[in-house]
Amino acid sequence: MCKVDKNENIIDIRSLSFQYGTRSVLENINLQVKKGSFLGLVGPNGSGKSTLLKCILGLLQPTKGKITLFDQPINRFNHWEKIGFVSQKANSFNSGFPASVFEVVSMGLFRKVGLFRFLTRQHKEKVKKVIELVGMTEYTKQNIGELSGGQQQRVFIARALVSDPELLILDEPTVGVDIRSANNFYAMLSDLNKKGITLLLVTHDVTAMTEHVNAVACLNKQLHFHGNTRDFHDNHGLSAFHGQEVHLLTHNHPGGE
Ligand code: ADP
């Protein structure tokens, strides 16, 4: 079993570099995500966010450096059920998809219980509870394809949460979602974070997100900033995001994580 202390890093990335062939995409990344934090990882398109995520999820092997997850080197990590993942691609059900919200969320239990016709009463209660947690109870029986993009994303969060992950990673979850819905969505994530779930939110959209996260990391091949949202708004991080020259890289971030 992996044990996690309050101050323990759930993700610990040290001196990570990555190249596609001879092309360098990530250079000397050092990034820690502490238990209980809500970190927004931002960067322009092409800045290496997805590549870094793929390294964290074990899908790509870094050219240099190391990643530790829940205190275990990634190559020996065998508790992937502790990590929930929601991608922007999840938001792609068309109106013909024949599954209710309840069924889609139940699919999140496949890894634990196999086919959902074998769900016990406790499993069904758990599914209802996470649907409630994301504010979708009134849509429980509705076809997923009939929901808006923002509502669908809530359902996919519930699907990721139903197996009780300790860390939820979200890749561009608000693509195609209007600003008001995105704001409500981030507020919901903030509530989940207050309930104890550690969140890593990856996005190129800094506008609404920074009001809700408690720390921001700016990536553009290198990590140009890592600190709390106040420092981020004091222009250091914003200029990093826009790719301008930056002199601040805060690894001790008071009031942040
Ligand atoms: P982001 O997620 O921030 O948009 P990516 O990690 O997708 O950035 O891409 C970073 C850089 O790596 C981009 O220049 C992209 O073109 C390049 N890249 C991404 N995937 C591949 C790949 N499979 N092969 C070669 N280059 C890639």
Q: What is the pLDDT of residues 116-144, one digit of tens each?
A: 567 788 889 999 999 998 899 999 999 99
Q: How many Å lie between the centroid of ligand 1 and the Cα of residue 84?
A: 23
Domains of the chain: 35-55+79-238 (3.40.50.300)
Quick one: pLDDT at residue 143?
A: 92
Whether 46 lines ligand 1, by a CB cut-off of 6 Å, is yes
Q: pLDDT band for position 244 (50/70/90)?
A: very low
Residue with CA closest to ligand 1 atom 15 = 46
Residue with CA closest to ligand 1 atom 27 = 20
Residue range 42-51: mean pLDDT, rounded? 91
Closest atom of ligand 1 to 219 CA is 3
Handedness of CA 174, 20, 224, 29 (dihedral sign): positive
Q: How many Å lie between the centroid of ligand 1 and the Cα of residue 255?
A: 32
Q: What is the pTM assigned to this prediction?
A: 0.85
More confident residue, 155 or 87: 155
Residue range 75-99: mean pLDDT, rounded? 79
Residue range 38-66: mean pLDDT, rounded? 94
Quick one: pLDDT at residue 251?
A: 39
CA-to-CA distance for 42 and 240, rounded, in angstroms? 10
Q: Is the pLDDT of residue 163 over 70?
A: yes
Q: pLDDT band for position 90 (50/70/90)?
A: low
More confident residue, 70 or 89: 70
Inter-residue contact 208 to 175 (CB < 8 Å): no
Exposed / middle / buried, residue 48 (Cβ in 10 Å: 0-12, 13-18, 19+): buried
CA-to-CA distance for 90 and 118, rounded, in angstroms? 25
CA-to-CA distance for 87 and 169, rounded, in angstroms? 8
Residue with CA closest to ligand 1 atom 13 = 46
Residue range 157-177: mean pLDDT, rounded? 88
Tokens of 60: 């790509």
Query: Is ipTM > 0.90 here?
Result: yes
Residue range 30-40: mean pLDDT, rounded? 95
Tokens of 199: 């969140």
Q: What angle do CA 158, 159, 163 make, to 5 degrees?
A: 100
Tokens of 12: 């610990």
Q: Which residue from 10, 58, 50, 59 is spatially nearest to 26, judged by alpha carbons?
A: 50
Whether 29 lines ligand 1, by a CB cut-off of 6 Å, is no
Inter-residue contact 240 to 249 (CB < 8 Å): no
C-alpha distances in angstroms, 2 versus 37, 70, 157, 213? 18, 6, 24, 26
Give the start-end residues of each E strand in 172-233: 198-203, 215-220, 222-227
Inter-residue contact 183 to 150 (CB < 8 Å): no
Whether 48 lines ligand 1, by a CB cut-off of 6 Å, is yes
